[in-house]
Amino acid sequence: DAGVTQSPTHLIKTRGQQVTLRCSPKSGHDTVSWYQQALGQGPQFIFQYYEEEERQRGNFPDRFSGHQFPNYSSELNVNALLLGDSALYLCASSFPGPRETRDTGELFFGEGSRLTVL
Amino acid sequence: QKEVEQNSGPLSVPEGAIASLNCTYSDRGSQSFFWYRQYSGKSPELIMFIYSNGDKEDGRFTAQLNKASQYVSLLIRDSQPSDSATYLCAVNPPMNTGFQKLVFGTGTRLLVSP
C-alpha cells in the first residue's frame, strides 16, 4: 500500500517564478493538507482540501493556491516566489470516517518537496 | 505568545536513560494533542496522541497531559541512539473540531549518546 507520495522531491527556482507541487494521498484517504516547514521550525498549516474544495486555510497569502482532483490527489501552486518561500513543503493525508476520527489528527505525511528560491 | 511552545534543545541523554520532552499550549480549549517524531531530512511521523488528562503509555513512550496547566509531555524510557530526532508537539485547537488543522511547536531536538 503506497503511502503519501510527493513530487518533485527537490527543486530550485528564482524569485518571481511560479512552482507547482504535487501530492498523491495514501490509498483510502480523501483529505489532503499542505504544510510549510522552514528550516528549524515546525510545520505551518497552509490549507486543506476535501471533496475538491478548500476547506480550511492558514495564514498564507493568496500567492499560495491549491487544487484537489476527483482522485483525491492535490497540487500546491505558489506564484511570484520570494526568498522566504524556501522551505520543505509537506503534504499530509488523512482517512475518512466519522467526525470523531477526523479529530485524531493522525496525519500521514509525504516525504516533502524541498523548494529553494534563489 | 506562541500557540505551542517547546524548548528547541538539544536535549542530550545517555543511552538507557529517560528522555523527558515538554510542551505548553496557549489555547485552553484545545482538546487533542499529538507528538510527532521527525528524523533529519525526513517527514514527521505520529508517535502518540492524547485527549484526556493523565498518562497514556505505548511501549517505551508515555504521553502526559495536564489541561489545567496547559502542559503536554512525552517520556521516552530506555532511550536508544535511534531515538535521536526532533520531536514535534502539535495541538488541534478547539475551533478546528472536525478538521485536522494542527498547530505545531518548533520541536525539541533529542540526542541519545551510546
What is the pLDDT, as a whole number, of residue A75?
98
Largest CA distance in chain A: 44
Smallest Cα distance from B104 to chain A, Å: 5
- Residues in chain B with CB shorter than 8 Å from the CB of A42 are 4, 88, 90, 104-107
Does the distance separating the beta carbons of A45 and B49 come in below 8 Å?
no
Confidence label for B29 from pLDDT (cuts 50, 70 and 90): confident
Lowest mean pLDDT among A6-15, A101-110, B31-40, B97-106: A101-110
| CA B48 – CA B62 distance, rounded (Å) | 8
What residues does A54 pair with on adjacent strands? A49
Please enumerate residues of B whose Cβ is less than 8 A from a Cβ of A. 4, 8, 31-32, 34, 42-46, 49, 88, 90, 92, 96-107
Mean pLDDT over all residues of chain B? 91
If pLDDT is split at 50, 70 and 90, which confidence band does A98 have? very low
B36's CB contacts (< 8 A; 6+ apart) are B44, B45, B46, B47, B87, B88, B90, B104
Q: What is the pLDDT of residues B45-93, one digit of tens each?
A: 999 989 889 999 999 999 999 999 999 999 999 999 999 999 999 998 7
A107·B100 Cβ contact <8 A? yes
